[in-house]
Amino acid sequence: MKTIKSSLIILSSIGLLSLGACGKGDEASDTKISPTPPPAASKPASSAPAAAPAGAKGANGGQVVNAGAYHLEFVPEKEATGTHLDLYLQKGDKKEPVADAKVTAQVQLPSGKQQTLALKYDPEGKHYAVVFPGKDPGQYPVKVNADIKGEKVDGRFTFTQ
């Protein structure tokens, strides 16, 4: 009988020690595992738009996305009739304005509905612009699509009412 009790105590002790060792191994492995990058991060930098560093503002105080050779800066400004949406579309290191693109903005309303707006080029301000008439409070995700002589350039932005 003593032999059976001794054997059970020894087996129980070994089992508890094994569980303790497993727990310590998990803690050590958690600190070494880096999170899997999101799918967009696995695309080549030349084809995927890249947001500027967090908190960075463009030359006009707007949100910035770099897409290959292009620089997009989105500046929403509230007005009495809605929100004025400005997009500065520039190319190259010198950030020269691109005046001959077809630019649209797909705006998602807080209700989930989408509205597509065509932006017109303002040669005096060297940017594309449109007034978005929505006034409902909430966050508005915006996807800007630019077609520059057949080359597609996209950027994603948000603004709040």
Domain ranges of the chain: 1-33, 45-160
Residues 51, 138: Cα–Cα separation, whole Å? 22
pLDDT of res. 134: 85
Structure confidence at residue 14 as a pLDDT band (50, 70, 90): low
| Residue whose structure tokens are 């070494």 | 32
94 contact partners, CB below 8 Å, separation of at least 6: none
pLDDT of res. 61: 84
Q: Read off the tokens for 68.
A: 């290959």
pLDDT tens figures, 67-97: 999 999 999 999 988 999 999 999 999 999 9
pLDDT tens figures, 102-161: 999 999 999 999 999 999 999 999 999 999 998 889 999 999 999 999 999 999 999 998
Residues 134, 37: Cα–Cα separation, whole Å? 35
CB 139 within 8 A of CB 117: no
pLDDT of res. 131: 95
Q: Residue 37 pLDDT > 80, yes or no?
A: no
Q: In whole angstroms, what separates CA 58 from the centre of its chain?
A: 16
pLDDT of res. 161: 87
pLDDT of res. 151: 96
- Thinking of the domain 45-160, which architecture would CATH place it in? Sandwich (2.60)
Residues 92, 68: Cα–Cα separation, whole Å? 9
Structure confidence at residue 17 as a pLDDT band (50, 70, 90): very low
Q: Residue 58 pLDDT > 90, yes or no?
A: no
